[in-house]
Structure 1
Amino acid sequence: EKENKSSDIKLIESNSQKIKTLYAKLETLKKTIDDIVLRSQSAVSTYLTKEEAAKLRLSELEILKNIPERNSQEWLQFIKSGKAYKSLLTEEAEICPYCRQDLKNDALAIVHGYASFLANSAQTEFDTASTVVKNLLQELTQITVQIEISTDIIPKLSEKNEEDQKSLKEIFDEIIVDVTEKKDSLKTCLEKKTKIKIEDFSIEVEGLITELKNIETEFNESLKSLKSSDSERQEAVKGINEIIADLEDKKVISKKKDIIKKYFKDEEIMGTMDYVASTINTTPLSVLCGKATDELVTEDFRNNFIKELKELEKEHLPVEIPKGSVRKGKNKTRKQIKGHELKAILSEGEQKAVALALFLAEISKDANSSPLILDDPVNSLDHQVIDVLAKKLIQISSERQTIIFTHNKLFYDSLVHWASNLKNEQNQRTHHLCKNYNGGCNANGSHVYSFKIERISLLETGKVISKSQESSKFYLEKIEKDLQGDYTPSSIASDLKSTIEYYIDEKILNNQRLIKDYGNKQSIKWDQLKKLNPDEMVIDKLKEYWDLLSSRGSHLSANSMENPIPLEKFTEIIDFLKK
């Protein structure tokens, strides 16, 4: 139901926008036609006035009265061409530029008449008016009358009411025909220089525009109603969920009532025991713990510590493990350098390396093979120590189950490297990185599994997926599946950005990670590097999509909320990344 309502909202929003676009185009068309009609009326009127003035001036020149067709455009063009040609010559004015004979008497007088006629401002103004009419005629031919209507709103415009049997679509078609005819009529007026009456070219679109705006209002009201009901539904669901959560809490408390009672009873007993313990003399116990420490922290343990420190490439640190202190029956093992506390001398990274060496020395002699769990053990360590620690933990995983959580890319890459490349004295691989999670694995050696905790949304994290499955294909299949259901644009945008990252690694870098991210430089695939030859157009397109997904998708902003990426754009990006 939620998905259907979301689709209805999108459809109504789209149709409302298309109605608005349609009447905006009608308004623009009317404004364009009204404007050119007004200017054409003025231009033709001016043309006729200037033409009459030019003819009057011509009649005033007595010498030119006997020239045949002197009012024609051909004659006017003839004398203008003669003047232009004469301006190129250098000989005396009394020579005819055409026949090259001397001009005498009447012939000379006619030439002077031509010059007087062309010098007249009435003729110049007439020429200017002619140019204006010509330009308007060209502008008119470039005006497009046809307006395309989206097929999505044609059914709505084709509806008929009881009062008027004509649908809005029919009225629209009639208006377009009327505008076309008036455009042709205006063209004829400009060509023949006939007077133009503005009322003859009036276009009646106000009624249709009003009806279209009414439809837009109707759509917007429906949209408002849908969104309001959806908001009310969400509030109701929220209220019901709160009630359910409260009932679930009561259900859990009811089931664990006896456990809770026992907890408070145990707390009371523990309080009594703590009081009794505080009154006991701990000196004999402290003496006994000190004796046990001397026996446990043996020379063998110290040697193991030094060995682990050396493997972590910190053997240059002269760390001592003196006899620990015992207070109130509790033993503490201290580490120092020539009587000084480590914190006063070593950096944070060196302190962490010493602590890891001590820890590794302890578990190396521990007969108990309980699982080992580490949470980001590489903070403040340099990359050499990180790689050594990764190798050491893979070795330990042969004897006990080892679980490691990390956000450190370099540490993760080192673990993956040693999981696939660690070998024994017989040069046989001791571990392998499992890819067949569900079907099992028959490979020899210890199994190493790699998982990733995926962010579901901005506020939700916790979906566990196989790290080895990650690829551009994996994300594309995931996105296409998500788009079939109730998705959020931000989650799709985030997954598409991950797809682009893997696309770059697979298609452009030939599965090469950046060299600076490698813990072991021997992993560089040199033959693949030779094949790198990226298409600049592909790079530009990837950047365009990346910027779009960042500004209007994965990053929460006013732009992403008010102008989210549409489904069509997501589909376009997916199709590009599939190539």
Structure 2
Amino acid sequence: MSNWANGSDEWTRFIVRQVLASGRPLDVDAQEHAYSLFRQEKALDVRTFPTEEPLVLIEREDEALEPLTLTSLSRVEGVNALETGGVIEPHEGLTILFGENGTGKTGYSRIFKALAASRTADEILSDISVASPQPQSATIRYSLGAEPKTYMWSGQQGVAPFTRMSIFDSPSVSFHVDDDLEYVYVPAALALFNHVAAGIKSVQSQVDASISELRSRSTGLLSRFGRTATVYPLIETLGASTDLEDLKSKADFGADVETRIGELRRTVAALEADTISSEITALARTERALKQAAALATTVAGFDGNAFSVERDKLADLQNDYRLFRAALFEAADLPAEPDETWNSFVQAGERYKAHLSDLDVHDAERCLYCRQPLVGPAAVLVGKYSEYLEDTIADGITVSKGRLTALGAPLFAAEVADIEAFLRDHADEDPQLTYQAALERTVSTHATLMDACKANENNVGGEASNIDSEARAPLGIDAQTIQTAQPDALTLSDAVTAASDRLVDLRQQAATRDETLAAKQKSLVELEAAAELSKSWSEIELHVRDAKQADRLALLAKPMPTLQRNLTALSKAASDQMINESFDALFAAERAALRAPEMRVEYIGRKGKAHRRKVLTGKHRPSAVLSEGEQKVLAMADFLAEARLAGISAPVIFDDPVSSLDHRRINEVAQRIASLAESTQVIVFTHDIFFATTLLNLMVSSKRCSYFQITDEDGKGHVTRATGPRWDTLNNIKAQINETIQTANSEEGNARAALIRTGYDWIRSWCEVFTETELLQGVTQRYQPNVRMTSLPNIKTAALPAAIEVVNRVFEEACRYIDGHSQPLASMNISPSLTGLEAHWKELQEARGAWFKADG
């Protein structure tokens, strides 16, 4: 590994150096240092760390593990439906936990699997039948080396040092048969590869995290730029490929940029508010008023005041003459009143009626138009005077004069002044006043004065009853100088009209191009704001681009890391071939032979710096597709035991129902292997197979390294009792029980002695059965054994059988009379056995056994 590290980067060399020196995985500080060194080595950061010198080979010795021994499991609560109070005290050799299906064995095995973090450890549930399940807990006492310890378990998974325990169960068969398994035990030297791989992985993870962080940082830059700005796509795609010099050239760093932005904003606001339209409307009103005013001033200036006064005087004279003529003409007519306008209208009406009759050719000049009486005498004279009156030339002169006066004042009356007056009202309080306001006001005032004068004088000269001489006639009301001033006012107002019209044309042209102007100004504003924002955000932009470039560099630098891992895997595989695989091959072959498992080829592969093994048959078939269930189980057990023995077993080995689906022959082979393992290792076996349990007990008779526990559900699920086993009775054990019973009976009297004597006969009866099975019949047939051992048949001492049978059968029959398990006839029920008889019978049986051993088979 040192040579491999010396050919790699400095950061890799640092990881290897740390792992070799400590023999442990890198801690958090060392992982951070490795990543920092990686960044400095790749010129991502300023170099501050010293150079990592080449490694010198370090010799290490693996530390021996202190043996772990379980001494008790008690106070179990909240595990499945197990009762509280059960106590299991494993033997330092073999411990058998026997119980039928559903009695609670699995609950205890699940605790051990959780502690060991077994491959097949599953979730532990509390009693599902209760509404409020209890928390999981148990007390585990154990010794580590010579030191006793206690651990209070509360549901934890994978607790050291219990993780060193090896556990085999039915679900693990598929792992050991078909899966590519990583070794549970890895030698300390080989484990260093795993630590180095983890260190490299930590650097790779930090690289990946840095890349993710650099690429996911949210700058919020895009929201600061208008979508229509030319720089928007550049900000939107801001990254490692961004040309910063080109982007910077689009920024505006000017000190007055905010002032320029403000001016543009005001211009745009004015264009958006469309004030030109309102200005055009107001100016059109002004133009219209000024045109009326200019025309009015021209009319005022063109008014001939002298001609109007002369004509007015002439009309007055004519009217006066006409009144005198009329008075003289009708002086003798005896009119009821003076001939006024009413009378004049009467006369004119008669004339019109006369003309009407003439048109109809029915006029009779000799008759009165009104009364139709003949016109004679004074009446005819009066009617003649009417005609003379109407045909008077003075009346014609009056009509002509009135026409001339009307013609002279007509322009004044025809002039439009409504817009002018409204304009003056709107600008009455304006300050400063308009340049043409004085001319406008004079024009309106002069026009009003002339209008009043014309109306007044017209009234004065229009009545027939008025008789005003020239001195009393109404004056015109305005002097000639004022009328003459109207001419320059007309020129002033005409100039104002021209200026307003020109301005109106200009505004209308601006209005026609307002949308184009507004769009251009808005575009200019967006570009200027974007340029200003570029300058303000430039440091963030540079940082973002730098981060993006660093992320791309990190991604490129991370590409060789998988290759680095593969190289380490290859190196680890080569080391594991030397340190593990060759040893595993030998151990697996031995275990496979001991268990009579099928022949199998093991391939060794490496993945991610770790050693794996795979079992294959010819043609690369999966073993489970070819082997029977029983073959798979013993193959898995061989793999399991070989793996457990790799490091030298220093912790308990636990088997959970290891012989299900095995035939009787394989059960015996598995039992023998487990029994041999228990000679030097603590072994715990959970089983419901009575034949397997009794076989194990028989195999452990000589060493006595065995404890047997019965698990039942009679007094609660998982009830544990220590027992002698379903077939744990041996002659020596029973002999001890009989001797102790006789000795105790000798010290008792009365009913106590009688009860002990019956117990002694019970043991004698058992001794007879065991003696018959194991010695007289040489174990050819035994209880709980699946087969008849025909190979032991020649060992039976047939010549000595009659004598031994006579003694054993007689004493057996006698013993049956005194035990509670057999009913007795009434004649013998009250006959109590004696201690002397018990001792005599026991002596006979021992003598019969001694004679049996001395006999020649």
TM-score by length of 1: 0.32
Q: Greater helix share, 1 or 2?
A: 1
Name the structure, 1 or 2, with higher relative contact order (CA <8 Å, separation 6+).
Answer: 2
TM-score by length of 2: 0.23
